[in-house]
């Protein structure tokens, strides 16, 4: 089984914020694949089904962003055999709005959710980072990532979410290296 985890904060208040784009992508993957996110466990909610012929667990930690590792650690211990079968989706204020970047491993890059996961399972797992920086970043980045996308960014963010879903599907069928070659270049427009 592969696990695709989207990071975010639980609760209506955070639903459409920049920080919750990982949840939004998981919701679209679930809708597209008809996987119901109704099961509770591992300090999160999840659903199990098939995407691109692979058995998948779609997972949303309900621990709040900064404690994401408290949920990801146990779910990996219970359900995962190989960390190469884990993909974590998160926002990234260091990437411009509209950019996506897949990495096979690495640092937290200033993201507290990724930092929490790295503390629990190490840094050798794939992560798909979604750029949420629209224009010049304010000094208070924490408040910024907890804001909703303004009207003038909504069309672009809708396209980015759909592109991220395609990226996840490519990761499932072609692996990380091929997916990175397609999505990490040329403003992340897939070739072909």
| pLDDT tens-digit map of 6-17 | 999 999 999 989
Q: What is the pLDDT of residues 84-106, one digit of tens each?
A: 999 999 999 889 888 999 999 99
**Whole-model pTM above 0.75?**
yes
The predicted pLDDT at position 187 comes to 45
Which of the residues 19, 79, 101, 127 is marked catalytic? 19
Known active-site residue 111: no
What mean pLDDT, rounded, does the chain reach?
Answer: 91
Q: Which CATH class is domain 2-188?
A: alpha beta
Residue 192 has pLDDT above 90, yes or no: no
For residues 172 and 158, give the distance between their C-alpha atoms in angstroms, rounded to a whole number: 22
Structural contact between residues 73 and 118, judged by C-beta atoms closer than 8 angstroms: no
Structural contact between residues 23 and 8, judged by C-beta atoms closer than 8 angstroms: yes
Burial of 120 from C-beta contacts in 10 A (0-12 / 13-18 / 19+): middle
- The structural domains of the chain, with segments of one domain joined by +, span 2-188
For residues 64 and 50, give the distance between their C-alpha atoms in angstroms, rounded to a whole number: 27
Element (H, E) at 172: helix 151-174
């Amino acid at each position: 089984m592969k696990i695709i985890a989207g990071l975010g904060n639980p609760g209506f208040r955070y639903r459409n914020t920049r920080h919750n784009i990982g949840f939004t992508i998981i919701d679209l993957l679930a809708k597209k694949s008809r996987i119901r996110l109704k099961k509770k466990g591992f300090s999160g909610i999840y659903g199990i089904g098939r995407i691109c012929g692979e058995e998948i667990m779609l997972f949303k930690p309900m621990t709040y962003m900064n404690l994401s590792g408290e949920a990801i650690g146990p779910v990996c211990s219970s359900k995962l055999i190989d960390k190469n079968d884990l993909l974590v989706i998160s926002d990234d204020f260091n990437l411009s709005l509209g950019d996506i970047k897949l990495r096979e491993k690495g640092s937290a890059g200033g993201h507290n959710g990724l930092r929490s996961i790295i503390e629990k399972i190490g840094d050798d797992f794939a992560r798909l980072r979604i750029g949420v920086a629209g224009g010049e970043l304010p000094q208070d980045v924490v408040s910024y990532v907890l804001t909703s996308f303004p009207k003038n960014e909504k069309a672009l963010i809708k396209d980015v979410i759909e592109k991220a879903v395609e990226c996840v599907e490519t990761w499932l069928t072609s692996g990380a290296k091929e997916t990175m070659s397609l999505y990490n270049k040329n403003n992340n427009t897939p070739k072909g």
